[in-house]
């Protein structure tokens, strides 16, 4: 692993160094960081899987609800990473620092308000999803505890955004590694040792975030990075707020509407029973790990594109996208074939011993793994659009992926092909493939360049 360098050295590499090295330098820590984030839920799933299927069903049901809020808030921090990276590429440190301050204020206020609203309305939402009995009770217990970690989670995300904008993805990875180590220690202690059941899993996840958030706050205010948060003499800028909204709101809406779509998908899966719900949750979590290289390369492309646009090096920005896309597609194709043909049932068996769940989850995972290379196209192209600040296009494509293509193909497979629960499995890969094709066509049409002129004109 390449050791984290200074912000100046990272920027020089991004703007003038070897592109493949720059992509890997940024992407590998992002991938590990994403893996660490996924491990929070996977750790909960592993230990709760030793109790009853209803526990896994409850987490699978309510996790999209939590993700709606998290992904909406991440639109703000993603906007920060994009805008700060463009200022860094333009060598405009004053505006980069001012933008970091605005991202901090907006994110923390949002996290507190949403946490309170979610806490009070959880029973209504879980009931609307169709949960009953133990799944209903356990789902409310879990989400009400983990939602309390939102301010701490957003503090960590702010630190990650500010660091990534400067080309440092290594230190945020280290910070999240600490969090998952704490969570892995507390999970079996609270669930099996103290017999706290699903509440133990939730408390473990919550408590793991607290020390990480404290470290993140110190690092982003007192640390070594050139871009720091300093609220002394802070003055609210309507222009910067508008920039955050124009870049972040589309991302937030796209991500949150995607998660709302997942909520409706869980409602469709639950009609096939708790075992199907558990299989859906396990399959999605493992698939999230499979597609992490695509997500990581998409994040790396976004940062590199943002800084090179700030430096007015459009050819280099495009080169980073093309190389990132090729790397992502090749890696996912090979990995997907191996998992689909040989390993899916063995991996699922780690998380549950329920034979019906293993059968359904391994079937779901095999299908998704076989077609996961389409995520390589989708995520890296999305990174190009996001890095250029054109998040409206990615919002529309992301929203239609769930709300149009996924539910349309679900209806076709269920109604005309009578595929039962497998209609859910196949509608996932079909909608992903359609959306990857659409955003690639939009790239070829040149729509990713739409917002570039605004930034360049603002710095003339």
Give 19's contacts (C-beta < 8 A, 6+ positions apart): 304, 316, 319, 320, 323
Spell 237-264 as b/e; 16+ CB within 10 A means b.
Answer: eeebeebbebbbbbbbbbbbbbbbbbbb
- Is the pLDDT higher at 128 or at 142? 142
pLDDT of residue 242: 86
Mean pLDDT of 369-380: 92
Radius of gyration of the chain (CA): 21
Q: Are 362 and 286 in contact (CB under 8 A)?
A: no
**C-alpha closest to that of 297 among 114, 31, 36:** 31
pTM, full prediction: 0.74
Dihedral in degrees, nearest 10, Cα atoms 107, 108, 109, 111: 80
> Could you give the CA distance from residue 445 to residue 379 in angstroms, rounded to a whole number?
18
Q: What is the pLDDT of residues 223-245, one digit of tens each?
A: 777 788 888 878 888 888 888 88
> Could you give the CA distance from residue 367 to residue 151 in angstroms, rounded to a whole number?
37
pLDDT of residue 324: 95
> Could you give the CA distance from residue 226 to residue 204 in angstroms, rounded to a whole number?
34
DSSP state of 52: -
Q: Are 244 and 79 in contact (CB under 8 A)?
A: yes
Give 431's contacts (C-beta < 8 A, 6+ positions apart): 401, 402, 405, 406, 409
- Is the pLDDT higher at 142 or at 288? 142
Count how many Cα atoms sit within 13 Å of the Cα of residue 319 in the half-sphere of its side chain. 14
Task: Identify the helix (H) or strand (E) that includes residue 227.
Answer: none
Give 213's contacts (C-beta < 8 A, 6+ positions apart): 151, 152, 153, 155, 156
- Is the pLDDT higher at 274 or at 360? 360
> Could you give the CA distance from residue 431 to residue 425 in angstroms, rounded to a whole number?
11
Dihedral in degrees, nearest 10, Cα atoms 166, 171, 176, 182: -160
> Could you give the CA distance from residue 22 to residue 11 in angstroms, rounded to a whole number?
10
Q: Are 163 and 20 in contact (CB under 8 A)?
A: no
**C-alpha closest to that of 268 among 136, 143, 410, 126:** 410
Q: What is the pLDDT of residues 51-85, one digit of tens each?
A: 666 777 777 777 777 777 777 777 778 788 888 88
Angle between helices 19-48 and 314-338 (to 10 degrees): 40
Mean pLDDT of 3-30: 81
- Is the pLDDT higher at 258 or at 95? 95
Mean pLDDT of 122-130: 84
State the SS3 of 96-132: HHHHHHHHHHHHHHHHHHHHHHHHHHHHHHHHHCCCC
Give 165's contacts (C-beta < 8 A, 6+ positions apart): 80, 81, 82, 83, 84, 85, 88, 96, 227, 303, 306
Mean pLDDT of 29-57: 74
Structure tokens at 294: 């695509």
Q: Are 352 and 56 in contact (CB under 8 A)?
A: yes
pLDDT band at 413 (very low <50, low <70, confident <90, very high): very high
């Amino acid at each position: 692993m390449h050791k984290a360098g200074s912000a100046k050295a990272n920027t020089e590499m991004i703007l003038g160094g070897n592109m493949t090295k720059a992509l890997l330098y940024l992407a590998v820590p992002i991938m590990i960081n994403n893996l660490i984030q996924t491990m929070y839920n996977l750790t909960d799933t592993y230990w709760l899987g030793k109790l009853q299927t209803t526990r896994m069903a409850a987490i699978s049901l309510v996790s999209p609800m939590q993700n709606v809020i998290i992904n909406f808030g991440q639109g703000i921090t993603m906007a920060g990473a994009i805008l700060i990276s463009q200022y860094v590429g333009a060598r405009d440190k004053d505006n980069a620092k001012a933008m970091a301050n605005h991202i901090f204020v907006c994110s923390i206020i949002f996290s507190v308000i949403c946490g309170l609203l979610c806490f009070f309305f959880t029973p209504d939402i879980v009931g609307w999803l169709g949960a009953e009995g133990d799944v209903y009770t356990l789902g409310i217990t879990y989400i009400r505890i983990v939602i309390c970690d939102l301010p701490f989670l957003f503090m960590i995300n702010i630190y990650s955004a500010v660091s990534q904008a400067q080309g440092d993805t290594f230190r945020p990875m280290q910070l999240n590694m600490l969090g998952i180590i704490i969570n892995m220690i507390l999970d079996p202690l609270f669930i099996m040792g103290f017999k706290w059941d699903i509440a133990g899993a939730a408390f473990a996840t919550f408590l793991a975030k607290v020390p990480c958030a404290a470290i993140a706050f110190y690092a982003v205010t007192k640390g070594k990075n050139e871009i720091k948060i300093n609220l002394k003499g802070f003055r609210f800028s309507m222009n910067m707020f508008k920039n955050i909204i124009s870049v972040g709101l589309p991302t937030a809406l796209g991500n949150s509407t995607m998660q709302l779509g997942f909520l409706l998908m869980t409602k469709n899966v639950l009609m096939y029973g708790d075992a199907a719900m558990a299989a859906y949750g396990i399959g999605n979590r493992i698939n999230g790990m499979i597609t992490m290289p695509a997500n990581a390369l998409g994040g790396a492309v976004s940062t590199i594109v943002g800084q090179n646009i700030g430096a007015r090096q459009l050819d280099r920005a495009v080169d980073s996208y093309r190389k990132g896309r090729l790397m992502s597609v090749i890696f996912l194709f090979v990995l997907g074939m191996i998992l689909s043909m040989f390993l899916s049932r063995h991996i699922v068996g780690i998380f549950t011993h329920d034979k019906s769940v293993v059968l359904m989850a391994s079937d779901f995972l095999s299908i998704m793994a076989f077609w996961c290379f389409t995520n390589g196209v989708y995520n890296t192209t999305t990174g190009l659009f996001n890095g250029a600040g054109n998040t409206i296009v990615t919002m529309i494509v992301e929203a239609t992926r769930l709300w149009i293509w996924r539910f349309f193909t679900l209806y076709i497979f269920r109604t005309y092909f009578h595929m039962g629960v497998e209609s859910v499995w196949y509608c996932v890969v079909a909608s992903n493939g359609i959306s990857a094709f659409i955003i690639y066509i939009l790239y070829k049409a040149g729509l990713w360049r739409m917002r570039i002129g605004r930034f360049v004109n603002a710095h003339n």
